[in-house]
Amino acid sequence: MISVENISKSFDAVEAVKNVSFSAKPGEIFGLIGPNGAGKSTTIRMIMNIIAPDSGRILFDGRPMVEADKERIGYLPEERGLYKKVKMNDMLLYLGELKGADRSRLQDNIDRWLKKFDLTGWQYRPISELSRGMSQKVQFVAAVAHEPAILFFDEPFAGLDPVSSDLLRESIIELSGKGCTVLFSTHIMEQAERLCNRIFLINSGKQVVYGTLDEIKSAYGSKTVAIEYDGDGSFIRRLPYVAKADLYQRWAELDLADNADPDELLQELARRLSIRRFEIKAPSLHSIFVSLVGGAKEKGDAS
C-alpha cells in the first residue's frame, strides 16, 4: 500500500507537483495519467525516493518510506537504458542484486521471464546487439525479476509491437493478480482504460480527477445506450430511464437519465421486446480527459 499525502515539489520557479494525494492498494492497477510534462515523472521520482518532496509525505504500508523499501519496488522508467557492452544476463543479475535479490532465485526468474518474452537466445549476448523492442522487454524483466511487491511502469508500451504489447499487458495483469501493487503511467488514455482499476489524472502538477474508472465515467459525461430489437419500440421514449431517444425501425440510441440504472432498463426492454444487441457506450477516458484538460493542451503535449 502506497499513500501519497499532499506532496509538492518546485524546481526553481516552476511548481512541478502541487498538493497531490492518492493511494494505491495491493492487487490493483493504478493509473497515473496525464499529458507529458504534467508532473508524472516528478511524482514517480518522489515515490522512488530519488528526489524528496518540498512538502507532504509518502507512506509505505502506513509508515514513512525508508531506503530499504527500494528493494520492494520494481521500476520501468520512461527513459530507458542499459549498459551497452554488458551481457544481458549480467545486466539483469546486477540490477536484481542491487535490489537485494538472492542470486539463484533471481537467475530462475530471469530465465523464466526471458523465455516468456522469447529472448532466451540473446541472454548471453551484449545489450548493444539487441533491437529496440528487445531491450524494452529486457528493461521490463529488469523491473520484475526481483519479485517486487510494488511495480512502477512509466509508459510501458512505448515502442512495442502489438504482439509484445499484448504479452506485456498479460504480464501486468498477471502480476496484479498475484497481489502486486501496480502503478502505471501513460499519456495514452485507451491503454489506461483497458488496464487500470483506478486512475489519478494529473495536469500541470495538479489533480484533475481521481477515482475508479466507473466513478469517473459516471461523474463526467452521460451514458449512452445503443439497442437493436424486434418489435414495437415506440414506448421506449416514455421510459423514465431515458432522457433522450433517437428511434429507428429496429434500432435506437438512448441517452440515459441521471442516476438511471442500465440493468433495469435492459430488464424492462427485454420484457417487451426481443433484444438482439444492448450496448452501454460509456464516454471514453479520452473524451473525458479532453473535456477536462482542454483539447489543445493534450494535442500539443502528446506529440
* Burial class of residue 15 in the structure, from the number of CB atoms within 10 Å of its CB (0-12 exposed, 13-18 middle, 19+ buried): middle
**37: contact with another protein by CB under 8 A:** no
* 70 belongs to the binding site for another protein (CB under 8 A): yes
Question: CB under 8 A: which stretch of 56-64, 98-106, 249-257, 261-269 binds another protein?
Answer: 98-106
User: For residues 270 and 266, what is the distance between their CA atoms, to the nearest angstrom?
Assistant: 6
Q: Which residues pair with 32 in a beta bridge?
A: 185, 200
Minimum CB separation of residue 79 from another protein in Å reads 4
Q: Does 124 bind another protein (CB under 8 A)?
A: no
CB of 133 to another protein, least distance (A): 16
Kind of pairing between the strands at 150-154 and 181-186: parallel
Contact between 67 and another protein by CB under 8 A: the answer reads yes
- Closest separation in Å from C-beta 157 to another protein: 18
Q: Is 164 a binder of another protein (CB under 8 A)?
A: no
Strands (E), the chain: 2-11, 14-24, 29-33, 55-60, 63-64, 73-76, 150-154, 181-186, 198-203, 206-212, 224-230, 242-247, 251-256, 274-281
Residue 77 as a binder of another protein (CB under 8 A): the answer is: yes
Piece of 19-27, 29-37, 93-101, 254-262 that binds another protein (CB under 8 A): 93-101
Query: Which member of 29, 38, 45, 285 binds another protein (CB under 8 A)?
Result: 45
Question: Are 185 and 154 a contacting pair, CB within 8 Å?
Answer: yes
Q: Is 80 in the site for another protein (CB under 8 A)?
A: yes
* Site for another protein contains 48 (CB under 8 A): yes
Q: Would you report the helix, strand and coil content of the chain in percent, each value rounded to 5?
A: 40, 30, 30
Q: Which residue has the cell 515502442?
A: 159
Helix (H, G, I), strand (E, B) or coil at 40: helix
Specify the stretch interacting with another protein by CB under 8 A; choose among 64-72, 160-168, 243-251, 255-263: 64-72
Dihedral sign (CA 84, 89, 94, 99): positive
| 136-155 footprint of another protein as x/- string (CB under 8 A) | ---x--xx--------x---
Residue 191 touches another protein, criterion: CB under 8 A? no
Burial class (CB in 10 A: 0-12, 13-18, 19+), 14: exposed
**Please, which of residues 206-225 interact with another protein by CB under 8 A?**
none
Which whole-number Å values give the CA distances from 95 to 107, 109, 119, in the listed order?
A: 12, 13, 18
Does position 95 interact with another protein (CB under 8 A)? The reply is: yes
Which residues of this protein are in contact with another protein, per CB under 8 A? 45, 48, 50-52, 67, 70-71, 73, 75, 77, 79-86, 94-95, 97-100, 139, 142-143, 152
